[in-house]
């Protein structure tokens, strides 16, 4: 096998632009297919050498040739390989351009689930930019709409997109949409609980219920959080004895002790200890992301500290 990718590229260029006699006496498609394979071979070598930018340039040529040869299925695979190269060098601008092209191709081919998945990935990449929050929310809604248009009706994928939208709303405390986020967690949790065809659905139900309770603790009051937690305990008997249920109850007890000025020296009812243990038990959780929970716990602690401060002021008044 030729080990010099630059020589392979020069051979490919000669196949694409041959001399007069070769152009006249050779089959055009055959020449272009050979050129295409030479570019692929060069790309493989560049990837092995971790020269991803050069590999990406080869795939651009491959895609151009595939378009000319009407190789529609192969083009999609090449776009995926091109995205992989750009991901290696964090070229997010080019990734976005390719994703937009692919989305249009998928929509044109009525492959709505594939379009939805790419829109979801695009939104995920934008989430960390506070200036793009509304754009992300719109993209999640669009991804959900495309999943709805797919005859497959992938429930897991749709729930993933809805949950991503709710997570973004709660992370950035978008007040006008908080009710929607809580409704999403509650709705999906109940949906999974009703569909008890397998054990994983029961686990997912608890996860979504936990997210709703956490949201109430972060933005409303602990009494509302307790009301929802007790409601979930009533409809899901296993939730009360689960690790999630126990730690959520500890948060409630912590708030109650604080309000009642009950100076409990029990380390298990220390806010930081509970938070630390809570993060540990969701380490590999597929629904409750650690980053989301970490941020929400910070918001819960702010509310807890506010109650402590109010109690301290009340004690001063009594003196």
Number of domains in the chain: 1
Contact 173, 219 (CB under 8 A): yes
Contact 208, 192 (CB under 8 A): yes
Residue 112 has what DSSP assignment? H
Tens of pLDDT, residues 73-123:
889 899 999 999 999 999 988 998 999 999 998 998 899 999 999 999 889
In degrees and rounded to multiples of 5, residue 201 shows phi and psi of -65, -40
pLDDT at 19 over 90: no
Q: Do the domain assignments include residue 68?
A: yes
pTM flag (> 0.85): no
**What is the per-residue pLDDT for 264?**
60
**What is the per-residue pLDDT for 209?**
97
Q: Do the domain assignments include residue 230?
A: no
Beta-carbon contacts of residue 45 (< 8 Å; ≥ 6 apart): 3, 5, 8
Mark 101-114 as b/e (b = at least 16 C-beta within 10 Å): ebbebbeeeebbbb
Contact 290, 278 (CB under 8 A): no
Q: Do the domain assignments include residue 63?
A: yes
Q: Do the domain assignments include residue 306?
A: no
Q: Do the domain assignments include residue 119?
A: no
Q: Do the domain assignments include residue 294?
A: no
CA distances from residue 298 to 116, 250, 291, 295, 302 in whole angstroms, order as listed: 32, 16, 11, 5, 6
Q: Which residue stretches of 109-154 are H helix? A: 112-126, 133-149
Nearest to 250 by CA among 233, 227, 267, 232: 267
Tens of pLDDT, residues 217-276:
999 989 999 999 999 999 999 999 999 999 999 999 999 988 877 666 666 678 999 999
> To the nearest whole percent, how much of the chain has pLDDT over 70?
91
CATH code for the domain of 78? 1.25.40
Q: Do the domain assignments include residue 45?
A: yes
Q: Do the domain assignments include residue 15?
A: yes
Find the domain containing 71 and state its range: 1-90
Tens of pLDDT, residues 123-157:
988 888 889 999 999 999 999 999 999 866 688 89
């Amino acid at each position: 096998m030729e080990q010099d990718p630059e020589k392979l590229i020069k051979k490919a260029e000669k196949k694409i632009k041959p001399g007069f006699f070769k152009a006249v006496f050779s089959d055009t498609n055959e020449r272009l297919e050979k050129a295409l394979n030479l570019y692929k071979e060069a790309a493989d070598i560049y990837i092995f050498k971790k020269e991803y930018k050069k590999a990406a340039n080869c795939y651009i040529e491959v895609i151009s040739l595939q378009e000319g040869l009407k190789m529609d299925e192969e083009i999609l695979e090449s776009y995926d390989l091109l995205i992989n190269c750009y991901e290696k060098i964090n070229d997010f601008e080019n990734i976005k351009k390719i994703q937009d092209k692919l989305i249009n191709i998928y929509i044109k081919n009525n492959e709505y689930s594939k379009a939805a998945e790419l829109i979801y990935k695009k939104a995920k990449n934008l989430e960390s930019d506070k200036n793009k929050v509304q754009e992300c929310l719109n993209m999640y809604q669009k991804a959900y709409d495309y999943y709805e248009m797919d005859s497959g009706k992938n429930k897991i994928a749709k729930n993933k997109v809805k949950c991503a939208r709710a997570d973004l709303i709660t992370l950035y405390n978008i007040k006008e949409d908080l009710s929607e986020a809580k409704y999403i967690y509650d709705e999906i949790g109940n949906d999974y609980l009703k569909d008890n065809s397998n054990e994983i659905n029961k686990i997912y139900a608890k996860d979504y219920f936990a997210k709703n309770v956490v949201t109430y603790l972060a933005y409303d009051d602990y009494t509302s959080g307790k009301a929802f937690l007790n409601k979930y305990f009533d409809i899901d008997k296993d939730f009360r004895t689960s690790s999630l249920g126990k730690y959520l109850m500890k948060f409630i007890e912590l708030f109650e002790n604080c309000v009642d000025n009950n100076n409990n020296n029990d380390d298990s009812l220390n806010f930081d200890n509970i938070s630390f243990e809570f993060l540990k038990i969701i380490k590999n959780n597929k629904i409750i992301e650690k980053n989301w929970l970490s941020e929400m716990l910070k918001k819960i602690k702010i509310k807890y500290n506010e109650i402590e401060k109010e109690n301290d002021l009340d004690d001063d008044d009594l003196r």
